[in-house]
């Protein structure tokens, strides 16, 4: 099977058209660790459907805002979700979303 030259020279975590490409042991480990939690998988599914703020995520996963925020941070650090801030009723809200629809792990 021929190797794709697109992936042979790049190592790390990068997104291309909704596909998160992961290559290199440390990067694979980071993604695997982030996906090793049912809670984080549920958050990923929720923000895949639509943008949500931390309060909405906490409510939907039935956990505290602090825990939801910590779980989102793990996903963000792994490159699985993106976050930003928008004005809220009292201050700003942290909004989460993802464009990732597929994760491709390159083992070579």
pLDDT digits (tens, 9 = 90+) for 21-76: 999 999 999 999 999 999 999 999 999 999 999 999 999 999 999 999 999 999 99
Q: 85 near 11, Cβ under 8 Å?
A: no
Task: Compute the average pLDDT of residues 89-93.
Answer: 87
Q: What pLDDT band is residue 90 in, cutting at 50, 70 and 90? A: confident
> Token match 């699985």: residue?
80
What are the helix (H) ranges across 9-103? 25-35, 38-49, 54-61, 65-77
pLDDT of residue 27: 94
* Terminal alpha carbon distance of the chain: 13
Q: Could you tell me which of 101, 106, 49, 39 has the C-alpha nearest to residue 70?
A: 39
pLDDT of residue 9: 57
pLDDT of residue 3: 45
Residue 2 clears pLDDT 90, i.e. is over it:
no
φ, ψ (nearest 5 deg) of residue 29: -60, -40
What is the spatial distance between Cα 47 and Cα 77, in angstroms, rounded to a whole number?
Answer: 16
pTM here is: 0.84
What is the spatial distance between Cα 36 and Cα 75, in angstroms, rounded to a whole number?
Answer: 11
For the ranges 4-8, 11-15, 36-40, 70-74, the lowest mean pLDDT is seen at 4-8
pLDDT of residue 58: 98
């Amino acid at each position: 099977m021929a190797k794709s030259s697109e992936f042979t020279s790049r190592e790390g975590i990068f997104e291309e058209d909704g596909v998160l490409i992961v290559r290199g042991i440390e990067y694979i480990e980071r993604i695997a660790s982030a996906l090793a939690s049912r809670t984080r998988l549920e958050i990923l599914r929720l923000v895949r459907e639509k943008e949500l703020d931390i309060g909405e995520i906490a409510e939907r996963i039935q956990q505290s805002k602090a825990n939801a925020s910590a779980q989102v941070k793990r996903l963000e650090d792994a490159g699985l979700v993106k976050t930003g801030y928008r004005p809220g009723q009292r201050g700003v809200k942290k909004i989460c979303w993802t464009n990732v629809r597929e994760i491709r792990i390159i083992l070579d």
